[in-house]
Amino acid sequence: MIVSRSSSNSPSYPPRSRKIINYIMLSLTGLCTLLVVSVLLTILVYLLWNGVHALNLNFFTKLPAPVGQSGGGVSNAIIGTLKLLALASAIGVPIGLLGGIYLSEFAGGWSAFTVRYTTDLLNGVPSVVMGIFVYTLVVLPMHHFSTLAGGIALGIMMIPIALRSTEDFLRAVPRSLREGGLALGASKSETIFTIVIPAAIYGIITGIMLDVARVAGETAPLLFTAFGNQFNSPGWLQPTASLPVVIYNYAISPYDEWHQQAWAAGFVLLSGLLVVSIIARLILARGKKLSHG
Amino acid sequence: MKTLMKPFDLSQLSKAHEVRFAGSEGMEEQLPWPQFTVADLNFFYGRQQALKNINLIVPNKRVTAFIGPSGCGKTTLLRTFNRMNETIPGTRVEGSIRLAEKDLFSVPATTLRRVVGMVFQKPTPFPKSIFDNVAYGLHLEHRLRRTEIADKVEQSLRRAALWDEVKDKLNQSANGISGGQQQRLCIARALAVDPEVLLLDEPCSALDPISTAKIEDLLFELKKFCTIIIVTHNMLQAARVADYVGFFLSGELIELNRSKQIFQNPEKQETQDYITGRFG
Amino acid sequence: MANAALSTPGIPMQPRGLEKKQTWLERLRKGDEVVHLITLSGAWSIIVITGLLVQHLWVYSAIARHTFGWRFLFTSTWDPVNGLFGAWPFVYGTIVTSILALVIAIPIGLGTAIFLAELAPRKISDALTFLVELLAAVPSVIYGLVGIFLLIPILTTAMPYFQKVFGWLPIFSGTFYGVSYFSAAVILAIMVVPFIVSISREVLLAVPVSQREAMMALGATKWDVTWRAVVPYARQGIMGSIFLALARALGETMAVTMVIGNVAQVSTSLLAPGYTIAAVIANEFTEATGDLYLHALIELGLVLFAVTMIINALARLLMLTMRGHEVTG
């Protein structure tokens, strides 16, 4: 009785209206995807287009030209960025590696929790706040901006990701390998350094490369640590130019030549980052291939 | 069960030994001296007790097999012999184990594990070359010369019956050889440091029948210079390779006797049930 | 050969190999404690750095905190010349741009995540996700560059038509100069969409098949299944991704600075220029003369730090309960 009534009232389930809603909503999600992808592609293509047009050899070899003159380059900023990244890696990588080894191999209980939680906390600190911190920590006592201060700021920003990615890749090394080492009479630390780390090394390198690529584009923490410089910065204790800060300063300037330089700098920075990211992923893929025979 | 007495002294050891292994066939040969002497051993994972009051002797230069259903404690006991269980947090061990005359817990674990080598269920080749895998243990302690290491690697690979198969690719990654070869590589790696004892934890469970046969043949050669303890869930394997067999159930040692005795005429009903397939 | 051992009458006192004494060098090499301590010091240096950070922000904002108290956040006069510092325009600007950015980014990001997780073939989905994640790695200063030279011209062209329809609303009134809360919010939305997409997609893909099949068996449409079974099941993870996006938007500096106009005023209209906390720090920090000015800016940093920390903690908590949910359920 009940069965026959319901079947006569709605011959097909789901009802028409629901089917229409189904199609509308599903097409809307497709539209969202289309929108996101096209916006992102537009940005990339626009940047490449403008960047390639503004690039020339002088850009890499010359110092900035005075206002109003065309030509000139940003060789000082390229060198500055490389120096900043070298210093940042010298600070961020060792601490990240040691912390990662600690979390994966030694830590337990409240100590692991505290370190892990603080790392996440540090990772969430807005980059401009990191700039303030290093300003009060380094620039105020030294009384001037410097490569050193900028490198320290970027280095601290590198620690959380270097640490967590190292930890993750070390954790992924199977317990059986560690036991294999221990069973041969290796101590825990010998096992870590001769078996566990070599087994995870491709992943660890990938994580660090991606980390360097990430901080290479940071601008806000450099504004009041490395500051900027029209010339080459000798040594480590003078203010220095860097690509991200140059992009910022040139982009908000009123001069068309400088806008061109900003595009070129943006192009160089971004292609550098993308190349490093892609190489990093290739290294990881190679490591996976090796460990699976 | 408590046929072994304490405190341990030499005369009682051999006496206990006699009681344990003489069986119904009597003393037809000179008995080997005990490699391991275990007394009142209890083992805990946290609150859970995995081994209950174990007393046994493992004879030297023989193959002893531990059998029993999964979770019976046989692997736990094996891992107690080289103190691998210590690497698992929350474990606790009570009682005494002697390696020959020496208290097992009085030597550093790293030294002990060079004397008591171990091979695991799944092959665990390190992501290094075949040569470096075998040489790993040698690099740990001695400052050996290059040629000495090369000799030792060759000797170990020969003992593990692997030399002919890998001599041309010693520098290739150990991940590239077959599973059976990897397991023999792990045996060679353990042999390279001249262990007194070799612990094998179900070494053939991940292997095909041909590789299994090769490893079983190998054991007959190896027991000339090593005491071998093998954990297996394969009773036929135990019957083929072992001189002595211990049967475990729920963390207790039910029976330890000559292999023939266990499989033809076991003393305990539980053993009878297990080997005839009535449970487990 | 085997009988050699058998015929030996006595039991050897100890096996060969055990009698060797370790030298101190070997003991050091084997020393797990040393390695433990060194790695521990690396790990704890993070805690020291974070502690120093909090301490420095606190100490170097002392003058401003003592001078203005809580008034600092809620008064609107920002007058460095006369030493009057009220941060409300920046707080307002930060809140408005971040909320507006989320209003734009959440539906679009979630829609994309649903499409990628539920509808698109796995290969296309993976390729598009790779692209989206690549864009999460683009530095913010480059988004700012694109904002100035691409987004603002587009918005300026489109705005008159938009205002013809919606101009009567107070939030869309007034003249549009290009730089505005709205421009900043659009750039922020573009920057946080990749976060929402990639995390939400992960979470949606992790929903067990049984949840879908249960609805499917009732004769539900694909959308019904997605919206009533999959999304609710994944809502904590999605909320987590939104909180992460919010924290990122609040702290975002360069892109916002470049398109918001940097005018310390409070406007109802979203088309008016404004200012945010991060932007004012970036712009005025190096020219801050006098301790009070510097401390006022650092107090803004402290506020930003505290707010993002709370939101990040909430996000992690949500992700954590999500994980627990998966394990038990």
| Inside any domain, residue B5 | no
Please report which helix (H) or strand (E) contains residue B66, including its range.
Answer: strand B63-67
Judged by CB atoms closer than 8 Å, whether chains meet at C16 and B30 is answered as no
What 8-state DSSP symbol labels residue B171? T
- Please check the confidence at residue C18 and state whether its pLDDT lies above 80: no
Q: Is C134 on the interface with A (CB under 8 A)?
A: yes
Instruction: For C36-57, give the DSSP string.
Output: HHHHHHHHHHHHHHHHHHHHHH
CATH number, position B142: 3.40.50.300
The structural domains of chain C, ordered by start, are: 65-328 (1.10.3720.10)
Tokens of B261: 């005795």
Cross-chain CB nearest to C305 (options A31, A32, A125) = A125
Looking at the structure of chain B, the number of domains it has is 1
Say whether A13 and C219 touch across the interface (CB within 8 A). yes
Instruction: State whether A186 and B140 contact (CB < 8 Å).
Output: yes
Beta pairing class for B244-249 and B63-67 = parallel
Question: Under 8 Å CB-to-CB from B25, ≥6 apart: which residues?
Answer: B258, B261
Asked whether the beta carbons of residue A198 and residue B128 sit closer than 8 angstroms, the reply is: yes
SS3 of B62, please? Answer: coil
- Rounded to 5 degrees, φ, ψ at A192 are -60, -50
Please give the helix or strand (H or E) that residue B180 lies within, else none.
helix B179-191
Confidence (pTM): 0.88
Report if residue B165 sits inside a domain. yes
Question: What range does the domain containing B191 cover?
Answer: 10-275
Residue A213 and residue C131: Cβ atoms within 8 Å?
no
CA distance to partner chain A, nearest, from residue B244 (Å): 24
Amino acid making up residue A150: G
One pLDDT digit (tens) per residue for chain A, 293 residues:
344 444 444 456 677 888 888 899 999 999 999 999 999 889 889 998 999 888 888 888 888 888 777 778 899 999 999 999 999 999 999 999 999 999 999 987 888 889 998 999 999 999 999 999 999 999 999 999 999 999 999 999 999 999 999 999 999 999 999 999 999 989 899 999 999 999 999 999 999 999 999 999 999 999 999 999 989 889 899 999 999 999 999 999 998 889 999 999 999 999 999 899 889 989 988 887 766 54
Residue B1 belongs to some domain of the structure: no
Cβ-nearest to C145 among A190, A220, A266: A266
Residue among B32, B34, B115 minimizing CB distance to C17: B115
Strand partners, B36: B58, B99
Q: Give per-residue pLDDT as tens, A203-216.
A: 999 999 999 999 99
Residues of chain C with C-beta less than 8 angstroms from the C-beta of A42: 150
How far C35 CA sits from the closest chain B CA (Å)? 16
Structural tokens at position C94: 């930060």
Enumerate neighbours of A (3 or more CB pairs within 8 A).
Answer: B, C
Q: Is residue B39 part of a domain?
A: yes
Q: Is C328 on the interface with B (CB under 8 A)?
A: no
With an 8 Å Cβ cutoff, are A247 and C141 in contact? yes
C28 CA to chain A: closest CA distance, Å?
10
Whether B120 has its CB under 8 Å from any CB of chain A: the answer is yes
Question: How far does A124 lie from chain B, in Å, by closest CA?
Answer: 33
Q: How do residues C29-49 score in pLDDT, each as one tens digit?
A: 667 888 999 999 999 999 999
Residue B4 falls inside a structural domain: no
Give residue C282's identity as a one-letter amino acid code.
A
